[in-house]
Structure 1
Amino acid sequence: GDLLSLEEQVGLFQDTLVRLQGRNFKSSKELSEYLSKSIFIISIGSNDYISNYPATLLHDTNKRFARLLTSKLSHQLQRLYNLGARKIVVSEIGPIGCVPAITSQNKHKGKCVEHKNRLVAEYNSMLPAMLQNLTSSLQGSSFLNGHAYRLAYDAIINPSNYGKGWFKDASNPCCKTWLSGIEGCIPFVEPCDRRDKYYFWDGYHPSEIVYSLFASRCINNASFCSPFSLKELVKM
């Protein structure tokens, strides 16, 4: 399907709320209370760097690009707040220089194309201040920063650190892909036998076992989702 911008996704969410109010909730107050207790998770931005960041830009423009993205993200988060969201987790962009679609197309040493990773580092460094500003300015809100980059990078570089029950291959996709991972999985071709042993499902996306790792850390560990864990956020 088509890629939808966050602006379009928030717009669709707004349309959904209109339908829910008359069908699933007796009043706008009941819907508002439900939304205020809900947890919204936003994971976005990697496509902006993989697909949209112009290859001809000079390196000193990366900060301006990161500012543009965080500004647009802040605006959409405020829209969500105005629609009733109060508890929002925003994930960092992961190490895009480590995904198979990038490593297969770029010369590099080690497991990752580090100059690609440095691009998203600028954006990730701006997230905490932006989220803290929203928490301070929007009454009753809690914005958490999901530190996905450092956990993802460590898991890719040192998969053995995560025990025998976790993935072993952190370089190749589980499914057979077109064009060395640039395109999606080839239809009707069997994927790998042990999906839980692969970090990547396809050329771009982590596998279920990786998302399970992220979720577990965010639920229980305030150093992964800060300034507090999801367990703490639920009680607020």
Structure 2
Amino acid sequence: MVEKKGTLLEDLPHGASFASAASGYDDFTANISSVLSLPRQLKYLMHYKVKLRKLVGHKRAEDIIRTAVFVMSMGTNDFLEDYYLDPTRPKQFTVEEYQNYLVSCMANAIQKMQRLGGTILVVVGVPPLGCMPLVKTIMDATTCAENYNKVAFSMNSKIQEKLEAISTTSRMKIAFVDAYGIIQNAINNPALYGLSETSKGCCGTGTIEFGNSCRGLETCTDPEKYVFWDAVHPTEKMYKILAEQAVEALAQKLLV
């Protein structure tokens, strides 16, 4: 486990994050940006469990892991940073084959979580890639690029199918968060969410800048009205909407 300076061991029972920006289900995606791959994140989870046992004892550690909510949210970078930008994977897979490969990587990761004691999981689906301002700019489109959206929609269908199969053959409670549907609904019906700007991000021009490229640039005066913070990522308000949907989806699964 990577511990930040100042992190207290006493904080470990309350949760930990092994997320790495620009990573994905595919190890190659992480390698492109030199970030933590999914297997490496799972390795840190194993280290976390070892540290937790030393801190609170074996039984208490097992209880904490068993009742913890595991969250997986990835897939976007597998397409935008990997498949559509780097020539390696397109030479090896068709789009559908690559989707199947990503789903198999996800399933393998879930198996490892189960072996480590995880029983509750939330998986966030791929958002509507074609509605991202960056993709629309690259495609010179004024509306969402449907070819990219079809890929995201199909990917989510495959994810859901696999999650249902895993739920059927195990005692794991798994909730799926339809990021695609939620964000697309916000874009199509912004007034329902108190939003007004759906076509560009809050930082810079809102059409091409994202991540570090937003640093030092001017931002909009009211990000609460925007779906996107930059040309790729949703705003804090949009993430809050997604989080609320995740809590609701999980609550329904736990009641079953």
Which amino acid is 1:36 matched to?
Answer: R
Give CA-to-partner distance per residue, 1:158-192, whole Å, 9 cap, x none.
21233xxx221111111226982256343233422
Q: Which amino acid aligns with 1:35?
A: I
Counterpart of 1:102?
135
Q: Which residue in the other structure is 1:159 paired with? A: 190
Counterpart contact for 1:94–1:149, Cα < 8 Å: yes
- Report the Cα distance in structure 2 between the residues aligned to 1:184 and 1:75, rounded to whole angstroms: 32
CA distance in 2, matches of 1:179, 1:195: 15
Q: CA deviation at 1:90?
A: 0.8
- C-alpha contact 2:201 2:207 (8 A) present in aligned 1: no
Instruction: Find the aligned partners of 2:235 and 2:251 in 1 and give their Cα distance.
Output: 24
- TM-score, scaled to structure 2: 0.77
The alpha carbon displacement at 1:232 in A equals 3.7
Q: Deviations over 1:121-173 (max 9, x none)?
A: 221111122111211222x31112111111111211221233xxx22111111
State the partner residue of 1:147: 178
Residue equivalent to 1:223: none
Q: Given the alignment, which residue of 52, 57, 63 partners 1:33?
A: 63
**Relative contact order higher in (CA < 8 Å, ≥ 6 apart):** 1
1:169 and 1:122 map into 2 onto residues whose CA distance is 27
Q: Which residue of 1 aligns with 2:151?
A: 119
Letter in 2 for 1:15: H
**Greater alpha carbon shift after TM alignment, 65-74 vs 208-217:** 208-217
Counterpart Cα distance in 2 of 1:99 and 1:122: 17
Question: What is the correspondence of 1:205-220 to structure 2 with a 5 Å cutoff?
Answer: 205-220=233-248
1:37 to partner: Cα distance: 1.1
1:207 shift after superposition: 0.8
Cα distance 1:185–1:193, how it changes in 2: closer, same or farther (>3 A)? Answer: farther
2:42 match: 10
- Range 143-152 or range 87-96, more displaced: 143-152
Q: CA deviation at 1:218?
A: 3.0
Unaligned runs of at least 5 residues, structure 1: 221-228
Hey, what's the Cα distance between the residues in 1 that align with 2:235 and 2:135? Answer: 17
Question: Residue 224 of structure 1 aligns with which residue?
Answer: none
| Residues 10-69 of structure 1: per-residue CA shift (max 9 Å, x gap) | 11111122112112x12x2211111111111111100001111146749x9221111000
Q: Counterpart of 2:71 in structure 1: which amino acid?
A: I
Q: Which residue in 2 is equivalent to 1:230? A: 250
Change (3 A) 1:178 1:215: closer
Q: Distance in 1 between matches of 2:98 and 2:137?
A: 25
Change (3 A) 1:129 1:186: closer
Partner amino acid, structure 2, of 1:6: L
Question: Do 1:46 and 1:96's aligned partners in 2 also have CA atoms closer than 8 Å?
Answer: yes
Q: What SS does structure 2 have at the residue aligned with 1:170? A: strand
Q: What SS does structure 1 have at the residue aligned with 2:212?
A: coil
Tell me: CA distance 1:67–1:189, structure 2 relative to 1, closer, same or farther (3 Å): same
Q: Which amino acid counterpart does residue 70 of structure 2 have in structure 1?
A: F
* 1:60-99 equivalent positions in 2, closer than 5 A: 61-99=94-132
3-state SS of 1:193 partner = coil
Q: Secondary structure at the match of 2:208?
A: helix
Helix, strand or coil at the partner of 1:199: strand
1-structure distance, mates of 2:255, 2:181: 27
Structure 2, unaligned runs of 5 or more: 1-20, 22-33
Q: CA RMSD in A?
A: 2.4
Structure 2 residue aligned with 1:170: 198
Distance in 2 (alpha carbons) for counterparts of 1:182 and 1:216: 25
Q: Cα offset for 1:94?
A: 0.4
Q: Which letter does structure 1 place at the counterpart of 2:225? A: K
